[in-house]
Amino acid sequence: MAASAATIRETLPWSPGEVYPPETARPGPWLFFTAEEAATVEAVVDRLIPADELGPGGKEAGCAIFIDRQLAGPYGRADGVYMQGPFPEGALPQQGFQSPQTPAQAYREGLAALAGHVRQNMGGRSVAQLPGEELDRLLTALERGEVKLPGLGGAAIFDLLFQNTMEGFFGDPIYGGNRDMVGWKLIGFPGTRYDYRDVIARPNTRYTLPPVALTGRPEWVVAGGRR
């Protein structure tokens, strides 16, 4: 296996206190998904997190947008992840995702295999055309490994979709999901509020302040777009 090294002299290749703030996910067209892939993922996230009396579902919360932006960026390319193997079959859950494919490659292949399975076995329809209860049964079968898909496999693509949907619903809105902080409001998470001294001084008191995202709150924006 090849290895490389570098020698650093005189100055460091970074600045003191240097930070890399996350890039805000902007509304707009899909960056990674095709139209059919996007429709599939939107249908799936809305069944994994269905809308109810407590709040919106996964689609309205922006989970598909979150996944699309992640796959179009460093996560999709597996930047910073060791990808040289080995990749054992039947790995323990604690070993994480095991595949020589990047997440972007896994999604592209997995969604294509899922679409082919549905067309062949469900009357030529697409995933997005399946009624809710029928899609639920399909997702349950995927989760249990009862649907055999070529390549990555049914259970593996389900695990990716489930994990990324949860990340999109509960992650910071700056990444495109958790629209209007609906996930945080659902569980009472305060977000990234900078000062909790008043709360600490009042133990056993219900926290009632609204959640704060990395970009602040909409009402904090003043004329000219400043905060």
Within a domain: 114: yes
Task: Say whether both 136 and 209 belong to one domain.
Answer: no
Q: What percent of the chain has pLDDT over 70?
A: 95
Q: Summarize the chain as % helix, strand, coil (round to 5).
A: 45, 5, 50
Task: Say whether both 151 and 205 belong to one domain.
Answer: no
Task: Say whether both 221 and 134 belong to one domain.
Answer: no
Catalogue the E-assigned strands of the chain.
Answer: none
Task: Give me the domain span that covers residue 210.
Answer: 190-227
pLDDT tens figures, 18-69: 777 788 888 899 999 999 999 999 999 999 999 999 999 999 999 999 999 9
**Number of separate domains in the chain:** 2
b/e per residue 126-164 (b: at least 16 CB within 10 A): ebbebeeeebeebbeebeeeebebeebbbbbbbbbbbeb
Task: Say whether both 174 and 201 belong to one domain.
Answer: no
Task: Say whether both 117 and 150 belong to one domain.
Answer: yes
Task: Say whether both 110 and 220 belong to one domain.
Answer: no
pLDDT tens figures, 78-135: 988 888 878 777 667 777 777 788 999 999 999 999 999 999 999 999 999 999 999 9
Task: Say whether both 126 and 225 belong to one domain.
Answer: no
pLDDT at 159 exceeding the cut of 90: yes
Q: CA–CA separation, 221 vs 216, rounded Å?
A: 9
